[in-house]
Structure 1
Amino acid sequence: MDPIRNPYAPGAGQRPPELAGRGRELDVFDVVLERVARGRPERSLMLTGLRGVGKTVLLNTLRSQAISRLWGTGKIEARPDQSLRRPVAAALHMAVRELAPRHRAPERIDDFLGVLKAFALRANPAAAGGRGAALRLRDRWQPGIDVPTATGRADSGDIEIDLVELFTDAAAVATDVGTGIALFIDEMQDVGTDDVSALCAACHELSQLGGPLIVVGAGLPHLPAVLSAAKSYSERLFRYQRIDRLDRVAADQALTAPAVREQVEYEAKALDLLYDKSGGYPYFVQAYGKATWDNAPRSPITAADVRMAAPEAEAELAVGFFGSRFERATPAEREYMRAMASLAGAADPSATARVVDDVDPDAAVPTAEIARSLGRKPASLSPARDALIKKGLIYSGERGTVAFTVPHFGRYLRTQPG
């Protein structure tokens, strides 16, 4: 069929033509926005899940919901080597600029921007090599805010104190306008320890004050553990939503709804096979759907078309989704992951066949078993394990276990030569 009309869109954070199976999450966020607008207490929201389940797509969709209600919004992507100070300042700058035209007192906006500028410019002396280094950094970089820098507010240098004051002032601006501010943070598990603690403290303060500012984060499955390690009350501070693979009905909808708009249909057996191949993971659904469309000669699409296209989809996944991540690992880290994959495969009767609903091919593996299979002491493998966690290739949801952050990564490794 015509590849130009191909409706499927496998891509990092790229919204699929049919956002299937996420109605509950969208409805929950609608309730959050409405409650905050009415001055009701509400928690910030954390989305967790493996890579490829559509967290970034959902995060962007939630942001669109907030914008449609005339909220001020900003979005950042956390990086393990970057402080939140500048990205948060840029995101809140964007959010307040969206609110500024509706504010009756321009000087109030300028006052907040002065505080925001002070927050952005206040480098951490300890991290920057002392006060002199912080001042040199201030001389080199400006945040693009054309107002005088405020003093005595959000400029102490302690990120927790400063972020609490900044969020409180931003919420006050939103209150003046009769709306709210939403800060969206992707890859939130990569936020540094001090910054995570500061974010929790700021959200805690806002929840007590009833300020109309919420944080919506998205991260890997161990994000709740990261937040809990920073502040014990984070377990009650946030509303957690696990984003999982699509069930059969939603996966079929993701494939058939865009096709119907192009006057194309699927045979039932083709949808059976596509679900077996993709496992319901949204990224895989799009990848297999795209390859199948390009290889199918006509409508309706058949199971034979899916079988013909599957090697093309798998080759693309092997390079762009699995292989690029595997290449980032050192030899020692690859050995560790291969041991993980081997142990997961021994417990997975569908390792080389189809996905079965009562079998989890991405289940966690005990670290003690990994060490035993490699004939090593667990302590000697800690550097490889810690490095893989920092690279976002594995995570530890429970003490003494690890799992892949990428769906079906173990199956991919079991198909590769040692």
Structure 2
Amino acid sequence: MTTAAHVPGRTAPRPGGVGRAPHSPFDDRMALRRVDWDAPSSAAFYRSLEAALEPRIESDGMDPVRNPYAPGAGQRPPELAGRERELRQFEVVLERVARGRPERSTVLTGLRGVGKTVLLNAFRSMAIQRLWGTGKIEARPEQSIRRPVAAALHMALRELAPRHRAPDRIEHVLGVLKAFAQAKSDDGAGAKAAKGGPRWQPGIDVPAVRGRADSGDLEIDLMELFVDAASIATDLGVGIALFIDEMQDITPDDISALCTACHELSQNGGPLIVVGAGLPHLPAVLSAGKSYSERLFSYTRIDRLSRSAADYALTAPADEEGVDFGPEALEALYRVSDGFPFFVQAYGKVTWDHALRSPITAEDVEIAAPEAEEELAVGFFGSRYERATPAERDYMRAMASLGDEPVQTTDVATSLGRRPSSLSPARDSLIKKGLVYSAERGTIAFTVPHFGRFLRRQPD
């Protein structure tokens, strides 16, 4: 492991008090002479004592301001370790699409906390660096994707428009986009307009094009919109990428329409791709929408980090701050985090704050771990647990009592002394809330790693 370079005769910079030059007994005696031993009150005496000794007292604690770790929702860690293969694969996709070569859209799947959103944002940054047009949405249950997709593609076209030499072409496609956004559809979008109320305005200062992407049938409208938007990217020799997070929450009808539009693009070679991210059951959701979806998308499962990748995620940013980790500390951190990227950042951050000096030790991890677990219990786990009804909590507790792997729904029912059919409402509601997913037919699993362990620690 590399450490900060040391220049002979100088003290290498370290966080907090680490690396300070040692003081001599003479300096200590001089500090004591500055104490006001004849102070008129005890308060005055202790103030003078503090002022005299404070410069001589070293704090070897790590500087929390320089703590490099970032355990946030979708927040990119200081070192995106262990995802080199996925980044290289997407780079190939970008190059192939821009050159007019056939390529499938991309779907990332995995549990919560494995870094899907972080990787999705990294992919978007790669596309932007290649001057692609990009837009991103986050799907929500029971919400049509018509307006979010319109807003995302509007953003993508705005990125491409300044480089296009035919303003009339841009205006035409923007007019199609406006018609798409305002179209009345079967799901209720545009209902206000149908009743004479104000129409939704997408911020496009051109008249809507009639007869294109405005039928109200999302499948037809998405196909026409995607083809027209892709033609702008073709003119510039680049592509358009639509990024969709929480893709499993798209309604079944909209999933079907999206698959159809992607299928049309794959047949005519238009340089527009969809890059989605979602929970492990997303492939099944897409397959239910269109049976050919398994050939339409390239699926990549995002999982926990290997030991070497997790170590690098911790040590690389620490090296930048001149701080080392002992091998036992890295082993302890991997054991408590289980290699899940969010947990690596969460435990790493708290351990840094508790460490007394560099190198960080296994004892530092042991002291910090309970605080990290308490923070996770309140935020990462607790916020989700609070969203569940009493019946749903009983269902999840029964799951947790059976272990951390996917469990049979019949076993959950047996544990609760109920018929499986009577538990279907609770199970379906938990799936809609994104707390559990159907791993295989007849099985159920938590979407959040270590959630079973959290539940087993909760009082009944």
Give the TM-score, by structure 1 length: 0.94
C-alpha distance in 2 between matches for 1:191 and 1:137: 28
- In structure 2, C-alpha distance between the alignment counterparts of 1:371 and 1:126, rounded to whole Å: 36
1:377 aligns with 2:419: yes
Q: Of 26, 37, 42, which aligns to 2:103? A: 42
Deviation at 1:37, TM superposition (A): 1.2
| Matching residue of 2:75 | 14
Aligned to 1:350: none
Mapped partners of 2:132, 2:354: distance in 1: 44
Deviation at 1:311, TM superposition (A): 0.6
Asked whether 1:70 is paired with 2:112, we answer no
Instruction: Give 1:234-313 correspondences, 5 Å limit.
Output: 234-313=293-372
2:425 aligned partner, one-letter code: P
CA contact 1:92–1:183 (8 Å) conserved in 2: yes
Q: Which residue of structure 2 lines up, in the alignment, with residue 335 of structure 1?
A: 394
Q: Which of 243, 249, 252 pairs up with 1:184?
A: 243
- Preserved CA contact (<8 Å) 1:43 1:207: yes
Cα distance in structure 2, aligned partners of 1:304 and 1:177? 57
What are the ranges of 5 or more consecutive residues in structure 2 without an aligned counterpart? 1-61
Residue 365 (1) aligns with residue 407 (2)? yes
What is aligned with 2:57? none
Q: Is the 8 A contact 2:410 2:420 kept in 1?
A: yes
- Measure the CA separation in 2 of the matches of 1:228 and 1:132: 30
Cα deviation, residue 138, structure 1: 6.4
Unaligned stretches of 5+ residues in structure 1: 345-360
* Cross-structure match for 1:215: 274
- Aligned pairs, how many? 399
How many angstroms apart in 1 are the aligned matches of 2:406 and 2:432?
17
Q: Distance in 1 between matches of 2:196 and 2:332?
A: 57
Matches of 2:348 and 2:188, distance apart in 1: 48
Q: Answer yes or no: is 1:80 the counterpart of 2:122.
A: no
* Preserved CA contact (<8 Å) 2:381 2:451: yes
* 1:110-133, Cα deviation, whole Å (9 max, x unpaired): 0000000000001324535xx864
Q: Is the Cα–Cα contact under 8 Å of residues 196 and 230 in structure 1 kept in the other structure?
A: yes
Matched residue type, 1:273: A
CA-to-partner distance for each residue in 1:88-140, whole Å, 9 max, x for gaps? Answer: 00000000110001111000000000000000001324535xx8644247624
Residues 159, 27 of structure 1: alpha-carbon distance in 2 compared, 3 angstrom cutoff: same
8 Å contact from structure 1 (residues 125, 134) kept in 2: no
CA distance, structure 2, for counterparts of residue 32 and residue 83 of structure 1? 28
Q: Aligned-pair RMSD on alpha carbons? A: 1.1
Q: Which amino acid aligns with 2:117?
A: T
Question: Hey, what's the Cα distance between the residues in 2 that align with 1:8 and 1:123?
Answer: 47
3-state DSSP class of the match of 1:256? helix
State the distance in 2 between where 1:159 and 1:335 align: 39
Structure 1 runs of 4+ aligned residues shifted over 6 Å read none
Kindly, what percent of the aligned residue pairs are identical?
76
Contact 2:109 2:302 in 1 (8 A): yes
Higher alpha-carbon Rg: 2
Q: Could you tell me whether the CA contact under 8 Å between 1:42 and 1:207 is conserved in 2? A: yes
Q: Which position in structure 1 is the counterpart of 2:41?
A: none
Q: Deviations over 1:39-85 (max 9, x none)?
A: 11000000000000000000000000000000000000000131100
Q: Is the 8 A contact 2:392 2:427 kept in 1?
A: yes
Partner secondary structure for residue 19 of structure 1: coil
- Contact between 1:122 and 1:138, CA under 8 Å: does it hold in 2? no
Contact 1:91–1:183 (8 Å) recurs in 2 = yes
Equivalent residue for 2:206, pick from 147, 168, 173: 147
The alignment's TM-score, normalised by the length of structure 2, stands at 0.86
User: Residue in 1 aligned with 2:219?
Assistant: 160
